[in-house]
Amino acid sequence: MFLQHHSSATSTPSLSSNTTKQTEDFELLIHNKSIDKIVGQLRFTYLQQNFEASILITNASIQVKSLYPFAGISASATSLSSLSPNGYLQKGALTAEGRQQIVWLMLDIIHLYNLLRFKPGAFMEIYRASFADAKKLNPELVFGQIPLDTKQAILIAKSLVQAMRLKHKYVFSNPLDLLASFQKIIAHYPQQFLAPKSNLAKLSPVLS
């Protein structure tokens, strides 16, 4: 597997009460644990790049938010019935399905990171095209600030997923998470992302 466990010396120090779970693919630092919920930090390495993200796991859901090398990417697993016998947790322990879903979410983070790191111009082109389609339906929409609970959000989210699939050969797990990630990243780095297209190449060092 190309993803591997890594414990970075520069990572946020763990508290003595925390528990660390390690697999071949990632390290899970548990901050809080109960029979039906795990709250912690996810750490993994891809091609010598260290990644860190916050993670919330329940029997029915997994939510991940990137922290390093930059904040902004959100990803979540398919929501299950709370009574599902094949959930992500079983009596407080991560199941095989839960571990596999975490790997898929790690791939979501990696693919969007790679797009930002190596093709920042393509990142903006995807969002601008999808936003233009949504703005035709609602001229009052603000660039980078589409509320996630609107019909326009669903439209632009699906458009983003389709563009990622066609142009970059990757299907993001959750469309609304992809939209939220685009908008959070734009909000985190407004000067770079709102700059003229010719200046977008300068973004790569900022995200390194």
Mind giving me the DSSP string for 84-138? -TT-SEETTEE-HHHHHHHHHHHHHHHHHHHHHHH-HHHHHHHHHHHHHHHHHH-
The C-alpha R_g of the chain, in whole angstroms, comes to 18
Instruction: Name the token pair of 49.
Output: 């790049």
Q: Answer with the residue of higher pLDDT: 155 or 62.
A: 62
Summarised one tens digit per residue, pLDDT across range 28-82 is 999 999 999 999 999 999 988 999 999 999 999 999 999 998 888 999 998 887 6
pLDDT of residue 121: 81
Contact 177, 169 (CB under 8 A): no
Rounded to the nearest 10°, the torsion over CA 193, 161, 103, 15 is: 40
- Indicate the pTM of the whole model: 0.80
- Which H helix or E strand runs over 11? none
Residues 188-203: what's their mean pLDDT? 57
**Of the listed ranges 53-57, 168-172, 202-206, the one predicted with least confidence:** 202-206
Domain ranges of the chain: 3-106, 119-206
> For the chain, how many helices (H) and strands (E)?
6, 9
Q: What is the mean pLDDT of the chain?
A: 82
Query: pLDDT value at position 55?
Result: 97
Sequence letter at residue 134: A
Would you state the pLDDT for residue 140? 92
pLDDT value at position 38? Answer: 96
- pLDDT greater at residue 20 or residue 95: 95
Banded pLDDT at 124 (limits 50, 70, 90) = confident
Of the chain, the percentage scoring pLDDT greater than 90 comes to 51
174 contacts 182 by C-beta, under 8 angstroms? no
Instruction: Tell me: cis bond preceding 69? Omega within 30 of 0 counts.
Output: yes
| Helix, strand, or coil (residue 1) | coil
The amino acid sitting at 47 is: L
